[in-house]
Amino acid sequence: MRRLLATFALGLGLAATGAQAQELNIYSSRHYPSDEILFGKFKEETGITVNLIQGKAPELIERIKLEGANSPADIFITTDAANLWRAQDAGLFQPVTSPALEKSVPDQFHEPTGLWYAFATRARVLVYSKEKVKPEELSTYEALATPAWKGRVLSRSSNNEYVQSMTAALVAHWGVEKTEAWAKGLVANFARDPKGGDTDQIKAVAAGDADVAIVNHYYFARLVGSDKKADQDVVAKVALFFPDQQGNGTHVNVSGAGVVKNAPNKDAAIKFLEYLASPHAQAIFAEANNEFPILADVAPSSVVQSFGPFKRDTLPIVELGRNNAAAVQLLDRAGWK
């Protein structure tokens, strides 16, 4: 298991309880520069030192389970509702009561009993070839499964949480039978077997390997904001489209965190969750990683704002977790590799 252990002690001086400095142990499956900024700023504002262990979500969940009551983990932070649900289902979280969180985090974006809270969102969008596709040809996720898109679509593998959560959202809206039929139709329209990450799908569309790809918006935003010529060459050939604007709205997913069941530093952990929902931290999520903040009065990055406004799916994020198992099973039956 590959892990990275780091201590962020970027502030001047430690806030102490008696003679012992306060600290916070975070297990994180996020690997974004924005998070290093967040941890450092949290230290500066509170005097609480952040000890960080990074890894893939399944590895960290298993590690916390194995550590049991002796786990030093205070916070588990991860991308995707599927990972939050798996941690919840494994009994890793404890409920948190916080007026600040209840006020800041919309009901759609937290577990009802306070087991976890989301702090940033991402939209599952379409990136299309400007040479081969007119935007008026695009409409919904469902339409991509029709014969008109035969051999023209790209997606990540079904073992990816982004794919699973989008499918779980469709299960919540449509039911298993219709969603499975959609998945089979989409598989039949793949330009190639799924491989690579979201950026790979975008670059493949730009290279002419397919006409449209399903990706998270911030991967495209990174390319738009890049000063590398190769990235700008890609951006010049593709464009972004928000699907389902006349229906349920574009699917959104989250990054979120919860306080671990046996957290030795529970008070510090709650402070950290409250900090992530603060306007200052929300601006860092937006500017440093091009994610959508969960606070309505915090603006997205200028790059993301350039994509324009869009209608978002208002489905409670907990439904993505509840329907994850059904989504995984139907994706397998549909032959989605």
Q: Kindly report, residue by residue over 122-171, the tens digit of the pLDDT.
A: 999 999 999 999 999 999 999 999 999 999 999 999 999 999 999 999 99
| Residue located via tokens 């262990």 | 53
CB 43 within 8 A of CB 6: no
Q: What per-residue confidence (pLDDT) applies to 35?
A: 85
The gap from C-alpha 194 to its chain's centroid, in whole angstroms, comes to 20
The predicted pLDDT at position 16 comes to 35
**Ranges of CATH 3.40.190.10 domains, the chain:** 4-121+254-299, 122-251+311-333
Binding residues for Fe cation: 31, 218-219
Find where tokens 């993301």 sit: 304
pLDDT number for residue 21: 59
For the chain, the residue count is: 337
pLDDT of residue 33: 79
pLDDT at 10: 35
Q: Which amino acid, 79? A: T
| pLDDT, tens digit (0-9, with 9 covering 90-100), for 312-334 | 999 999 999 999 999 999 999 99
- Which segments of the chain have a pLDDT < 50? 1-19
Of 99, 75, 62, nearest in space to 261 by CA: 75
Domain 122-251+311-333: top CATH class:
alpha beta
pLDDT at 31 (0 to 100): 83
Q: Is residue 255 a contact partner of residue 291, using CB atoms and an 8 Å limit?
A: yes
pLDDT score of 3: 39
By CB neighbour count within 10 A (0-12 exposed, 13-18 middle, 19+ buried), where does 155 fall?
A: buried
Considering the chain, what percentage of its residues have pLDDT values greater than 90? 90
Chain-centre distance for alpha carbon 156: 15
Residue ranges of the binding site: 31, 218-219
The predicted pLDDT at position 261 comes to 96
- Please tell me the CATH code under which domain 4-121+254-299 is placed: 3.40.190.10
* 27 beta partners: 53, 76
Please report, as a single letter, which amino acid is at residue 109. F
